[in-house]
Chain A
Amino acid sequence: MGSLFRSEEVCLAQLFLHSASAYSCISELGERGLLEFRDLNPNVSPFQRRFVGEVRRCEEMEKTFTFLQQELRAAGRVLGPCPESPRAPAAREALRVQEQSEQLAQELREVSRNRASLRDNLRDLRQYLHVLREGQRFTSLPAPLGSPPRPRALSEREPILDPSLHQHLERKINFVAGVIHPWRVTAFERLLWRACRGYLVASFVEMPEPMEDPVTVRQHPGGRAGTAGESITWVIFLISHWGEQIGQKIRKISDCFHCQVYPYPESEASRTDTITKLHGRIQELSVTLEETEKYLAEVLDKVVLALPTWRVQVQKMKAIYLVLNQCSFDVTKKCLIAEVWCPVQDLTQVQDALRQGSYQSGSSVECFVQRIPTSESPPTLIRTNKFTAGFQSIVDAYGVASYQEVNPGKAP
């Protein structure tokens, strides 16, 4: 309160950490938040430091956590905040966390994959059903003779060639039926006309209900748990053509535009047959899909429970290893030396923390801290609480005060 100089008194100290208890000591110091570590290995590149393997392990775990979180978000679940602040895990516990998280991720991937393939199948079958139903409109038998004359407007719906006559003709009509993205319809039609002009008749009609776009679902790799693709009203097309070569060209062109092509049975009877079969299969698939979704929800519940704690734990672990990377390793004496900036008031607390850390790791040799004289200027430390932190950050925005500079507000 009211000193002439800004910043507390900060001194340079050396920590001697026994290599066995280094981890828990740093963990203890980290929980109290007392020190600033200096980097004693500035010339060493990041991938040549001592604990780079551990850091990489933490990063891999973080990758798994990111994947789990993405799945949760895709399924519409929200991750709650971590209830209490867990400490950084010891080596054994860390291994357990890694195993469990990987197992969960694996399970989730499998279930999502199954679910995605079930959904794909279901969508496929439903599209086929629609194609057949709509196609009926173009290829159904004409009304019997003697019916009242139909108005002109319906002439589009009449079949191109009376199917009951086609046995008399030499040429056989072949059909190519499928589904195409609505934005590509004009380009498709134009290309068809240019390539095979005159030898085919193409009809297009919109699907009665919108369906997912498989491409946008596929764009999320790993089969995300809850993503639906964009809902698009697809366009069903039915192309009748003469000749086999034209048929091949049409198929190549439809491949080029990424259309789904379905086999279109020739006769009316086989079409109705296929429709009934499709109904049955769709029913079965829906039931299986429901079961899968239930199981997926259970797995996601497990993830929601465990993930917040894990994330904080691994974050702390990574921070500890990054700090350990900054220490220099004294091979002969089997101890780590760290140089820290420490406020003079807290030196006893630091010693306390080190004692606790060595006790926890069960080592007999105690780590200790030693103050060393230095001519360098230490970093500025201004203690703030929740209230003063806001004001201090505004002052700092204009420039952080240098160590022990005169406090202009206190000048007499």
Chain B
Amino acid sequence: MPGYSEFYFNVDHGYLEGLVRGFKGGILTSADYVNLAQCETLEDLKLHLQTTDYGNFLANETGPLTVSTIDEKLKTKLLTEFHYFRNHAFEPLATFLNFVTYSYMIDNVILLITGTLHQRPIAELVPKCHPLGSFEQMEAVSIASNPTELFNAILVDTPLAAFFQDCLSENDLDEMNIEIMRNKLYKSYLEAFYKFCEKQGGTTAEIMRPILEFEADRRAFIITINSFGTELSKDDREKLYPTCGKLYPEGLHLLANADDYEQVKCVAEYYAEYKAVFEGVGSGTGEKTLEDAFFEHEVKLNVLAFNNQFHFGVFYAYVKLKEQECRNIVWIAECISQRHRTKINNYIPIF
């Protein structure tokens, strides 16, 4: 209800909101990125990051620096911060933060199943999982051979059980079905998250609504474009679209009937923001890809979340922005280490 959040929010969540805003102040600015792009070696990059909020996070690294070490340490820092938030959170913030982790859990489960399908040993796959989404029974997914078994034996005790209702089937897990399962899980998750935010009401709903709607529509676009040339039928495709976005219901219907990229672009033209997103995309190698354009739009929405107080959206926005920052730093580090500096400025600046 309007006017509620200002009075009672700080009692339970004031400390954490203050903390997350402090962390947000430490996110790298465009000046930092310019300096990072000027570095010649990874050692210079490390020297530069020492002057930022990251401090001496690479100080105890013995041996030569590699991009994967940097990536790992960046993720560890975000993980520590997130765990601190989660451990100190009361309800309903605790449930909100749990929802943030579910998307990573889904990705981890799918990664492990795909890996098992390709006969990879479990020890090789576990380090590739995203740490925010790890749960106790994660590694046991390799013993399941079809979705029903997967659900009944392993996932039923995890929070992902609620999203599994559509996916139960006796088909064996193969490439196509794994992707379909991933998208169905994600659709249930996104709709559940959307309902949760709506139920919270107030500023949280106001801030999270555009973010989650964009996420849903982005998935719809990506699913459509990726399904061109595969055996996925149009009806099946329509069942995979999350319904909590702006495109529901007419846009989704049009997307389901689209046959190529141009038609998808036409559908986007009906919606002002998506028209702008698709406009910026070029198809040459030097120009922005659709993925980049989507990331940019997401960054814009997440930055807006910090303009309001007393809501949970700041936590979600912080996690996403930090992820984008990791991606940026790793991109710059890769360009430096491979000495291929032409595209070094293709990062997405945040502040």
A residues in contact (CB < 8 Å) with B: 45-47, 63, 66-67, 184, 187, 190-191, 194-195, 249, 252-253, 255-257
Residues of B50-78 whose CB lies within 8 A of A: 51, 59-60
B257, CB-defined interface residue at 8 Å? no
Asked whether A256 lies within 8 Å of B59 as measured between CB atoms, the reply is no
- Which residues of chain A are within 8 angstroms of B51 by Cβ–Cβ distance? 46
Q: Name the B residues within 8 Å of A252 (CB-CB).
A: 122, 140, 142-143
Is B44 engaged at the interface, CB distance under 8 Å to the other chain?
Answer: yes
Contact of B153 among A45, A187, A194 (CB under 8 A): A194
Q: Does B139 lie within 8 Å of A256, measured CB to CB? A: yes
- Bound state CA distance, A255 and B126, in angstroms? 12
Q: B137 touching A187 by the CB < 8 A rule?
A: yes
The digit string for B308-339, where 1 denotes a CB below 8 A from any CB of A, is: 00000000000000000000000000000000
* Additional A-B contact list (20), CB under 8 Å, known A191-B140, A191-B153, A252-B143: A45-B38, A47-B47, A63-B60, A184-B136, A187-B136, A190-B157, A191-B137, A191-B154, A194-B152, A194-B153, A194-B154, A195-B140, A252-B122, A252-B140, A252-B142, A253-B143, A255-B139, A256-B137, A256-B139, A256-B140
| Most-contacted residue by chain B among A67, A191, A252 (CB, 10 A) | A191
Contact A46 B47 (CB under 8 A): yes
Task: Determine the chain B residues whose CB is within 8 A of the CB of A47 once the complex forms.
Answer: 39, 44, 47-48
CB distance from A269 to the nearest CB of B (A): 34
Nearest to B38 among chain A residues (CB) is A45
Q: Is B138 located at the chain interface by the 8 A CB criterion?
A: yes
Min CB distance A364 to B, Å, is 38
What's the Cα separation between A252 and B39 when bound, in Å?
46
- CB contacts (< 8 Å) of B47 on chain A: these are 46-47
Could you list 11 A-B pairs, sorted by A, with CB under 8 Å? A46-B47, A47-B44, A66-B60, A187-B136, A191-B157, A194-B152, A256-B122, A256-B137, A256-B138, A256-B139, A257-B140
Q: Distance in Å from the Cβ of A380 to the closest Cβ of chain B?
A: 28
Q: Nearest-CB distance from B286 to chain A (Å)?
A: 29
Evaluate contact between A255 and B122: CB separation under 8 angstroms.
Answer: yes
Q: What are the residues of chain A within 8 A of B122 when measuring CB–CB?
A: 252, 255-256
Residues of A within 8 A of B152 (CB): 194
User: How far does the Cβ of B327 sit from chain A's closest Cβ, in whole Å?
Assistant: 24
Cβ of A194: which chain B residues have Cβ within 8 Å of it? Answer: 152-154, 156
Cα of A136 to Cα of B38 in the assembled complex, Å: 67
Contacts of B60 in A (CB 8 A): 63, 66-67
Interchain CA distance A255-B59 in the complex, whole Å: 33
Q: Nearest Cβ distance between residue B207 and chain A, in whole angstroms?
A: 36
Residue in A184, A249, A253 whose Cβ sees the most chain B Cβ within 10 Å: A253
Interface centre among A45, A47, A249, A252 (most CB of B within 10 A): A47
How far in angstroms is the closest Cβ of chain A from B116? 10
| A76 CB, min distance to chain B CBs, angstroms | 21
Cα–Cα distance between A180 and B283 once the two chains are bound (Å): 54
Given known A-B contacts A184-B136, A191-B137, A257-B136, A249 and B143 have beta carbons under 8 A apart: yes
**Whole-angstrom CA separation of A3 from B154 in the bound complex:** 83
Main secondary structure of the interface of B (DSSP, over half): helix
Nearest CB in chain B: distance from A197 CB, A: 9
Q: Once the chains bind, are A195 and B137 in contact (CB under 8 Å)?
A: no
Shortest 8 CB-CB contacts between residues of A and residues of B: A256-B139, A256-B140, A195-B153, A194-B153, A47-B44, A252-B143, A249-B143, A253-B140
Chain B: CB-nearest residue to A46: B47
B40 to chain A, nearest CB (A): 8
A47-B44, A63-B59 as given contacts; A187 in contact with B139, CB under 8 Å: no
Interface positions, chain B 135-167, Cβ under 8 Å from A, are 136-140, 142-143, 152-154, 156-157
Question: In whole angstroms, how far apart are the Cα atoms of A39 and B44 in the complex?
Answer: 21
Can you name the residue of chain A whose Cβ is closest to the Cβ of B122?
A: A255
CB of A210, distance to nearest CB on chain B (Å)? 22
A195:B143 contact, CB within 8 angstroms:
yes
- Complex alpha-carbon distance, A255 and B122, angstroms: 9
Alpha-carbon separation in the docked complex, A317 to B138 (Å): 51
A256 to B136, CA, bound (A): 8
A195 to B139, CA, bound (A): 14
A80–B60 alpha-carbon span in the complex (Å):
24
When distances are taken between beta carbons in the complex, the residues of chain B under 8 Å from A187 are 136-137, 157
- Per the bound structure, the CA–CA distance linking A194 and B156 in Å amounts to 10
B239 to chain A, nearest CB (A): 29
Bound form: Cα–Cα A63–B154 in Å: 45
Distance in angstroms from B147 CB to nearest chain A CB is 15
Q: Which residue of A is nearest B135, CB measured?
A: A187
* Set of chain B residues within 8 Å of A190, measured between Cβ atoms: 157
A253–B154 Cα distance when bound, in Å, is 10
Chain B residue at minimum C-beta to C-beta distance from A253: B140
Residues in A whose Cβ lies below 8 Å from that of B138: 256
Q: How far is the CA of A256 from the CA of B122 in the complex (A)?
A: 9
A257 proximity list for chain B (CB < 8 A): 136, 140
CA distance A187 to B137 in the complex (A): 8
Report the nearest B residue to A193, measured CB to CB. B153
- Complex CA gap A184/B138 in Å reads 13
- Complex Cα distance A194/B48, Å? 52
Bound-state CA distance A184–B137 (Å) is 10
- A153 to nearest B CB, angstroms? 31
Complex CA–CA separation, A67 to B60 (angstroms):
9
CB closest chain-A residue, reference B44: A47
CB distance from B241 to the nearest CB of A (A): 33
Q: Which residues of chain A come closer than 8 Å to B153, judged between CB atoms?
A: 191, 194-195
Q: Please, how many angstroms separate the alpha-carbon atoms of A66 and B62 in the complex?
A: 13
- Chain A residue numbers with a CB within 8 Å of B136 are 184, 187, 257
Q: Compute how far the CA of A191 lies from the CA of B151 in the bound complex, rounded to whole angstroms.
A: 11
> Which chain B residues lie closer than 8 Å to A66 at the CB level?
60
Measured CA separation A183–B48 after assembly (Å): 42
Q: Which single residue of chain A is at the shortest CB-CB distance from B47?
A: A47
Q: Give the distance to chain A from B38, nearest Cβ to Cβ, in Å.
A: 8
Bound-complex Cα distance A349 to B171 (A): 89
The answer for the CA separation of A253 and B153 in the assembled complex, in Å, is: 11
B135 CB to nearest A CB, Å? 10
Q: Complex: how many Å from CA A45 to CA B136?
A: 47
Residues of B within 8 A of A249 (CB): 143
Residue of B whose beta carbon sits closest to that of A257: B136
Instruction: Kindly provide the distance from the CB of B256 to the nearest chain A CB, expressed in whole angstroms.
Output: 37
Chain A residues, CB < 8 A from B59: 63
B154 partner residues in chain A, CB cutoff 8 A = 191, 194-195
CB distance from A221 to the nearest CB of B (A): 8
| Cα–Cα distance between A190 and B137 once the two chains are bound (Å) | 11
Cα of A195 to Cα of B137 in the assembled complex, Å: 12
Q: A254: nearest residue on chain B (CB-CB)?
A: B140
A191 CA / B135 CA spacing, docked (Å): 13
CB distance from B86 to the nearest CB of A (A): 17
Query: What residue of chain A has the Cβ atom nearest to residue B157's Cβ?
Result: A190
**Closest A residue by C-beta to B142:** A252
> Given the complex of chains A and B, what is the CA–CA distance between A349 and B274 in angstroms?
73
* Chain A residue with Cβ nearest B123: A255
